[in-house]
Structure 1
Amino acid sequence: MSEIKENPLKVVDVSTIDQTTADAILDGFATQGFLFVDGHDFTQEEVDHFFDISKDYFTQPHSEKIKYAIDVDDCGYTTYNQENLNHETQIKGDPKEAFNFGKFNFLTGDCKKEMLPPVFAPGTENYEFIKKMSLKLHALGSRILNLLALGLQIDEDQGGVNWFSDRHRADAPSMTSMRMLHYPSASKLDAEQAIRAGAHTDYGSLTLLFQKKGEEGLELYEPYREQWKTVPYIESTSSEYNKQGKAAPIVVNIADQLSFWTNQVLKSTLHRVVLPTDGDRYSIVFFFDANDDTLLVPIPSKIVREAGEKGVGKGIGLNEDGSYINAKDYSLKRFKETYATGH
């Protein structure tokens, strides 16, 4: 395992939608598939509160959490060793636990209510907070997609800057989920298993990640160097954002569906989570997926067409009969490969 102290990722301020920002976003996602996003609309107070809610939830007895076990809609609680993100190399599942909020209506922020434990039930302060955060994450994800459309120079007669956002509509169903994660320390569970989340790529379009200072553990793989790089927690370099109480830059990465769409111009990069060095690790993730019926057909962009002509990405994102798969079916296929029984 290789660790570095410096930040290996580009940091991009997305407060302005213009060509310069779009080009910077495209470069980061086309080279590493990961970057830090600054200039967002989240306050540190909001992020801290979300982590407090998460920690309180995971301290509940296992017998209470398992009552709301994850369902076919990817909503609910995932117990230790139930998810195996690298089933090709790991015999046991990942030693972590999680809770997923899903089946969102992004016009209101409401999610599937049947799988919510009392602490998150509709009418509670926690539920209202979850709604607010999901709407803000959807807005940020949409902003990043608009910048990517600008950077990829999507044909104007096909939708231009709105091409991606038209396929991530707030009023249409998707497999988008918001996930709280808890990775236990070595003293609590499986100290000999250093990998807490096996090497994997994400399934949807974009992934947005909140990390806590001092709880690093995310690593991304650089194939050209054949080594793992630690993704650190970093503070914003903007004194203005710090004065405004904005949260630290957010980790954002490309997932499979968006990589397929672009003939792999955008990289869906292998990553993992390693054993926390000090105490437990908590993280909060927003998996942003296209609307369920969206076909993963290469997007109308000169840059993407040129990649396809070179044979890049050929044959990916397809059904067995050679037709293009839709966003929901692709995610369901990956979930089937990922989940085990757990304990």
Structure 2
Amino acid sequence: MAERLVPVISLKDFESRKEEITEQLVEAAENAGFLTLVDHGISVHEIEAQFAISKAFFGLSLETKGKTPHSKKTNNGWEYMAQLRPSTGMYDQKESLWLQRNSEWPSDDDIPKFRETTENFMTKCASISDQVLSCFAKALGFPEDYFKIANDPLQPDCLTQLRLIHYPASENAAGSWRAGSHTDIGCLTLLFQRDGEDGLEICPGRESHSTFAIGETFTPLPAKTGPIVVNIGDMLMAWSDDRLKSNFHRVRAKDIGKSPDRYSIAYFNQSRKGFVLQGPKKKYPPMTVDDYFKQAVARNFG
């Protein structure tokens, strides 16, 4: 099972255990590309509260959700079955709300305390990301705050986003792709799941390298409320001269029977547009994050 392949890493007593935690994070990032964080500072109550906010939004009418429309220019806002995956040739069977601090937000009149609750959640995600990325920066030979500065979500040119996701319940869709096989474009993803809402499958390990992992072995990673599933993105893989591994993952309907609603929350550390991306060994030519991101989007979504 996938959980055996994904190391569980505790962030408890982070400052006093930083060297030990760094070793564990690097080992997981080099060999699996995935890890699970516990003792990370966001309580189950806070996670459940954010999921409740998310579920309330997706429960609104299409017209009300459409008041926060998706923008192709900023990639923020509500979208419904809008991502065409080259790996499947089909649209992902989900709806999502992309958010940044300076984006349009759903009205508190429609969902009380939506913005306050969600911004507080984003702040905690940023803090956890800073801890993990500081360990990677040190291991790669960068200044310890290098990735923290590069991924500062308070800066106007930062591409970091929170994505609330809903996969509607599906009948007669056994084995179909709710989200096709892909890697994440950015640096580091924090993924929150809910008990009993399985579907995530991962392809860990350095050996998975074929196009969209076609023919590779995917294994389920059971959904649990509390732990954070973390994966390396393409950008951080390039930034590390391929030392840290970005790996494929997907969301799949059950093989037998009805697949229930699935909700997940992803925090994508995607860096600041003007930052120059190049690893310490200069394996790849220097490129701004903005240019890298545009090329990656064109490559992954045409």
TM-score range, shorter chain: 0.7 to 0.9
Query: Residue 209 and residue 120 in structure 1: after superposition, are their counterparts in 2 closer, same or farther (change >3 A)?
Result: farther
Aligned to 1:212: 194
Q: In the TM superposition, what are the counterparts of 1:183-262 in structure 2 within 5 Å?
A: 183-187=167-171, 191=173, 194-222=176-204, 224=207, 226-234=216-224, 248-262=226-240
Distance, in Å, in 2 between the alignment partners of 1:94 and 1:170 is: 27
Aligned length: 286
Q: Do the aligned partners of 1:26 and 1:148 also contact (CA within 8 Å) in 2? A: yes
Distance, in Å, in 2 between the alignment partners of 1:133 and 1:49 is: 10
Q: In the TM superposition, what are the counterparts of 1:11-160 in structure 2 within 5 Å?
A: 11-15=8-12, 16-17=14-15, 18-71=18-71, 72-80=73-81, 82-84=82-84, 86-87=85-86, 89-102=87-100, 104=101, 111-112=102-103, 115-119=104-108, 124-152=112-140, 154=141, 159=143
Query: Residue 124 and residue 328 in structure 1: after superposition, are their counterparts in 2 closer, same or farther (change >3 A)?
Result: farther
Q: Do the aligned partners of 1:29 and 1:35 also contact (CA within 8 Å) in 2? A: yes
Asked if residue 325 in structure 1 is aligned to residue 260 in structure 2, the reply is no
Give 5+ residue unaligned stretches, structure 2: 209-215
Aligned equivalent of 2:275, options 289, 294, 297: 294
Distance, in Å, in 2 between the alignment partners of 1:288 and 1:200 is: 17
Distance apart, 1:31 and its partner CA: 0.5
- Aligned AA (1:83): Q
Q: Do the aligned partners of 2:151 and 2:160 also contact (CA within 8 Å) in 1? A: no
Deviates more, 1:282-291 or 1:225-234: 225-234
- Aligned AA (1:13): S
Distance, in Å, in 2 between the alignment partners of 1:48 and 1:284 is: 11
Asked if residue 165 in structure 1 is aligned to residue 148 in structure 2, the reply is yes
Q: Do the aligned partners of 2:181 and 2:250 also contact (CA within 8 Å) in 1? A: yes
- Aligned AA (1:48): E
Distance, in Å, in 1 between the alignment partners of 2:234 and 2:183 is: 7
Distance apart, 1:131 and its partner CA: 1.2
Distance, in Å, in 2 between the alignment partners of 1:337 and 1:59 is: 33
Aligned to 2:165: 181
Distance apart, 1:5 and its partner CA: 7.4
Distance, in Å, in 2 between the alignment partners of 1:207 and 1:169 is: 15
- Aligned AA (1:275): A
Query: Residue 83 and residue 337 in structure 1: after superposition, are their counterparts in 2 closer, same or farther (change >3 A)?
Result: farther
Q: Do the aligned partners of 1:175 and 1:331 also contact (CA within 8 Å) in 2? A: no
Distance apart, 1:93 and its partner CA: 1.0
Deviations 1:202-233 (A, max 9, x none): 11110001000101111111463830021123
Deviations 1:82-111 (A, max 9, x none): 112x31x42321111000112x3xxxxxx3
Structure of greater Rg: 1
Q: Equivalent pairs: percent with the same residue?
A: 27
Distance, in Å, in 1 between the alignment partners of 2:196 and 2:2 is: 13
Distance, in Å, in 2 between the alignment partners of 1:176 and 1:120 is: 26
Deviations 1:253-291 (A, max 9, x none): 110111000111001101111115641110001001211
Give 5+ residue unaligned stretches, structure 1: 105-110, 235-246, 300-304, 309-313, 316-322
Q: Do the aligned partners of 2:153 and 2:159 also contact (CA within 8 Å) in 1? A: no
Q: Do the aligned partners of 2:34 and 2:231 also contact (CA within 8 Å) in 1? A: yes
Partner-residue secondary structure (3-state), 2:287? coil
Distance, in Å, in 2 between the alignment partners of 1:63 and 1:288 is: 30
Distance, in Å, in 1 between the alignment partners of 2:299 and 2:138 is: 34
Distance, in Å, in 1 between the alignment partners of 2:108 and 2:80 is: 18
Structure 1 segments of 4+ aligned residues over 4 angstroms from their partners: 336-340
